[in-house]
Amino acid sequence: MAKTFTIEDLKYMQSQPLWWKIQKSVTKIYEWYKYWEGNIHISFCEPLRKEEYINFAEEAPNKFYKNAAKLIDDRIYSNYKIWDTNYIAHDLRSGKNKYANYYTTELKDKFQQRFQQTLNQISGETDVVSPIYLGIYANPVLELLPNL
């Protein structure tokens, strides 16, 4: 039987140390593989090198962290693959069919069914969780397409 998550559960998970999140992420990847979650693309890249951020190392902390975050984002974006589920979530979230040529009606129906099943497993405010769930899938379209 699937676990029912509450808002408190989600807040607890967010407050945990990084190692716990990494362990849970690896476990989640296995679950995605085991159960239908759409396609999975796992990619590893070289870690950031000192030479990459030395040019702004002397900046004020806010500016330094902003530039470091951009380096990390660029590294992630260069390895990211957008799948049909990303386009479906974007269209559902926006209420338009802008990317309908990237998926079939059957895939959209399957995604919506799984989306509803996931919402049914969460006790609490589904109107709060729904945009977060769709955002997890839709944000790569918003972030990556302008950069490609």
Give me the residue spans of the domains in the chain.
Answer: 7-13+46-147
Residue 88, C-beta contacts closer than 8 angstroms, at least 6 positions apart: 99, 103, 107, 108, 111, 112, 137
The confidence score (pLDDT) of residue 32 equals 59
CB 93 within 8 A of CB 134: yes
Measured between alpha carbons, how far is 72 from 52 in angstroms, rounded to an integer?
10
**pTM for this entry:** 0.64
Q: How far apart are CA 27 and CA 94, in angstroms?
A: 31
For residue 108, count other CB atoms closer than 10 A to its CB.
Answer: 19
Which stretch of 4-8, 61-65, 69-73 has the lowest confidence by average pLDDT?
4-8
- Band the pLDDT of 2: cuts 50, 70, 90: very low
Q: What is the pLDDT of residues 65-100, one digit of tens each?
A: 899 888 888 888 888 889 999 999 999 999 999 999
User: If you count them, how many residues does the chain have?
Assistant: 148
| Range list of H helices, the chain | 7-15, 18-34, 50-53, 61-79, 84-94, 105-120, 126-144
